Each structure stands twice: as C-alpha cells, then as structure tokens.
A and B are shown apart, each in its own frame.
Chain A
Amino acid sequence: MSEFTNIFLALLLEATPFLLAGVIISVVGGPLVERILATAALRNSALAVAAGASAGLVLPMCDCGNRPLAHRLALAGRREFALAFLVAAPVINPIVIVTTWLAFRSAELVVLRLLLTVLAAVAVAVVLSRLRRDIALPLDAAAGGESHAPPGPGTWAPRILDEFFELFQFLVVGAALAAAIQVFADQEEFLSARGVFLSIAAMMFLAFLLSICSSVDAFVVAGLGGAIGLGPALGFLVFGPLVNLKSIPMYLRLFSGPAVVLLVIICAQVAFAGAAIAELRAW
C-alpha cells in the first residue's frame, strides 16, 4: 500500500504543475490564441492543422498541460488546430526532442518519433474535425456555471480554479489507476513478448499503463533493456504520450465519447503501423 501511495503522490506531484500551467495559459492566453486563429490565413483547414501540429514548438506543453487550451479552442470552433495541437504538442516540442536524442543518440529514432506523431495528429484532426456532433464537452465553468461576469483579468482566478479542479479530479483517478498498475502488474511480461507485432503491441500497452510524462519517457524506454528494437521503442514513444491510463479520464471529461474512441483508434493504428514498418525495414 505504501508503494502505491508513493507512486500515486509522485504522479500527482509530477503532473499538477503542468496541469495548472496549462489551465493558466488557457484562461489567460486562450483569447489571444483564438484571435490569432481567426486571422484569414489560419481559417484554411490545412494551414490550421499544420499550425496546430507544430504549435508545441513555441508552446512546449506535455500531455497534462496542453489539454485545457486544446479543449477551449475546440469549444470555440477551431477544431483542426485544437485536435492537431492536442495530439502533437506532447511530442512535437523542444524538450521532448532533446530528451529523446539524449536517451537514444539516434537521429533515425528521433525523426521517426516526430514523423509518426505528426501523422497521428494530422489523421486525428482530419477525421475528427469532420464529425457533425460537438466533440468538446463544456466544462461547468466554461458553460457559465456560477460566473456571469465578462471574462477579463478580474475573473481569471476563479475561472482558473474552476477549470483546474474540474480536471484535477480526473487526474487523481488516472494517477490512481496508473499507480495501481505500476505496483501490481509485472512489466517483465510485456518485455518478454516475442515477434515484431506482438512486441510492438505489448510496448504500446505498457506505455498506456505506465502513463509516463512524454518529457522523460525516452529515458525509460532506453532503460528497459537492450532487447527492445526500434519498432517496439517507437510504439511506446509514439502511443504513450497520446493515449495513456492517466489521461483517459481527463479526455472523457473534456471530449465526447465517440471523439475519444476515434482518437484512441487512430493513434493506435498510426503508432502500430509506423512502428511495424520501421521494425521490418530495420530487419
């Protein structure tokens, strides 16, 4: 039990600063980003997807931090940008690029990780932005809730608190699930999977269960063992930051069920197919 509590509190301590920063950026900087996206150039869908997929380079945010802004922009109708940003930013950012390089010292792996993530982001943005139904669920705070004052600096603090705790409770659930898996599941079972496809699927599932922040997951994969090939490593590094146990409850609070299911399926397909091709080519 003490090991569970240790890991549970560690995951919360790790994620809380980034969730809070993400909410602050969403509330304070969201209107500015919305105005930028309303400019003529970014009304073009292709450009909006490209901008969303690369926005992490100037807004380096991990998967806990980028969701509030992506949700806000999706709610405001900027679906293409929001979805591409949601999927890409946890990997397409300078911190993750540097840490992946430091862990592996392999330009091939770094480039493939970035390419597959961009591919997943584009696929998610293109498919989900065509859904007719709303994909972003209003938060109580965003829908009005108890606040009827016009948005501005005077209302920032209560709105940040509302949005932060709306999401924090789902972070708690995700962290508890991930901690339980860390304590009670045997990682060696995943590492012992044999065959290209099975080992990639096992590593993707392990990444889903472990829910490690994208800024350091490369160190973990590099340390898991010399027997792990390029494909399984890519499966872990591409899928884990996009979809993991810690993030699923938060996804479901922010986005509709069908949108989340589609996002998970698309990310899994891109990560699996890309990793398999890379592994088979490496053979």
Chain B
Amino acid sequence: MVRRAGYGAAAGGLGLLIAWRLLDGTARNLVQGWYVPVLWVTAAALLALAALGLAAGFRRPAGRARITGAGVLTAAFIGLPLILGALYTPRPLASASLDLSATAARQFGASASAADPARRNIYQWAYEFETADPAAIAGQPVDVIGFVFRRPGDPPDRLRVARFVVACCIADAQGFTLPVAWKDAGALANDQWVRVEGRVGISPDGEPIVLAASVTPIEAPQNPYIYP
C-alpha cells in the first residue's frame, strides 16, 4: 500500500508541477509550442491517475512498511525532478548558450526560406545572409526581434541579434544570429530583448549586415524560440 500511495502522490506532484509550469508560461522555455497541449493532457492524466491510485492504495489494508535501499533510491530518483522543477524556474536559452563557431557551419531546413523580407525572422534572415548574393538582398527592409549578443572587444557600434530555433525541446536548440550596425550597441547588455528595424547593407569585408534605423528594447516574447 505504501508504494502505491507513494506512486499516487508522485503522480499528483508531477501532474501539478507540469500544470504549474504551463500556467506560469515557463514550460515554453523548455519545449516546442505544440508540446503545450500535449503537456496539458499529460498533467490531467497524471492527476486523474493520482486520484485513482491513491484511492486504490488507501482501500487496501495497511501492511507493515519496510524501508529498503532500493526504495530510498527509487524515491530519490522520482523526487529529484519534482524538487528541481519546483525550486528552479526554467529560463529561456540565452547568449551564454550561443556558439558562433557552430552556427557558422549550419544548414537550414525548408522553412528557412521566406520570400517576403518584411516577414522574415532571424532564422530566415540568417539563411539569406548565408546563401544569397549580398548585392541581391542589399536594401531589403529588416524587422526582427531577438536578444542581444555581444562579445568582449566587439566594436561599440556592432552587436548581434540572436534567436534559438527549437524543433522539439531545448536539447536540440540551435542558435542563429545576425550582425547589426547600431550606433549605441555598446550600451546594450547581453540577453536584452530588442526589436531591430533597418535595412540590409554590406559591411567593409563584403558580408551582409543589418544597418539598424532603430533598436528598441522590448519585453521577452511569450515564445522565446523559433519553431522550424
């Protein structure tokens, strides 16, 4: 009875934890948007199972509970994510997780190609910057949101605006960035979310760059990631 009641309580705890992280929006910092309804169903199923399991456990007469090493280990493994998930508020991936050496060699999925420049996100612009002739896209309007990424030693009028692409959960996240020329770039802190409006230009080394007309600090969006 003790184990069954324990599993019932754990299912209740796990269901409540998932529901809590869905309600406060932080589950979206960990998984794709389409996972949200799946997680709601999971939380509801766990809570229903918890109620049924606890009821079944308490209907049976209580035997003598024996604490074993294996039982303690099981409780620890099941309890670990419940405790971590309750104490730690999931945060969106940020500049500390960006690896520019890896992004330099990235390929793009089919959704990276978008014809209308005004509707391109950072992922789609990164595709254009990497594959298009700079002269062909120079002058096109850019309007994207992302977070600021600057490295020590970057010129005060340069920043990168970045966004992660997540296919399923952040374990598969890939970061994409765009170089931006902006006069007050040095005043922006890493991970500050911004809206960048401007046009594509060509840098002195011949690479495309966003010539920003404005860089406006904004609140972090509800969906911090781009879904391919």
Residues of chain A touching chain B, judged by Cβ–Cβ distance below 8 Å, are: 2-3, 5-14, 16-17, 20, 24, 102-103, 105, 145-146, 157-158, 160-162, 164-165, 168-170, 172-173, 176, 178-179, 182, 187-188, 191, 210-213, 215-217, 219-220, 222-227
Contacts and interface: CB of A to CB of B under 8 A. Distances in A.
Given A17-B41, A161-B7, 4 more contacts: A6-B170, A8-B81, A157-B48, A220-B167
A98 B96 CA distance: 33
B30 to A, nearest CB: 4
Given A146-B3, A216-B172, A6 B90 contact: yes
Q: Dominant SS at the A interface?
A: helix
Contact of A105 (B1, B52, B97, B110): B110
Given A102-B110, A157-B56, A172-B80, A13 B105 contact: no
Q: Dominant SS at the B interface?
A: helix
A10 B10 contact: no
Interface residues of B, number: 61
B105 A14 contact: no
Interface of B: 1, 3-4, 7-8, 10-11, 14, 18, 21, 27, 29-31, 35, 38-39, 41-42, 45-46, 48-50, 52-53, 56-57, 60, 73-74, 77-78, 80-81, 84-85, 88, 90-91, 93, 96-97, 99, 101-102, 105-110, 165, 167-172, 174, 228
Given A12-B81, A222-B107, A227-B105, A17 B42 contact: yes
Contact of A20 (B46, B169, B171, B172): B46
A161 B49 contact: yes
Given A16-B42, A158-B56, A165-B7, A226 B31 contact: no
A215 B168 contact: yes
Contacts of B74: 165, 169
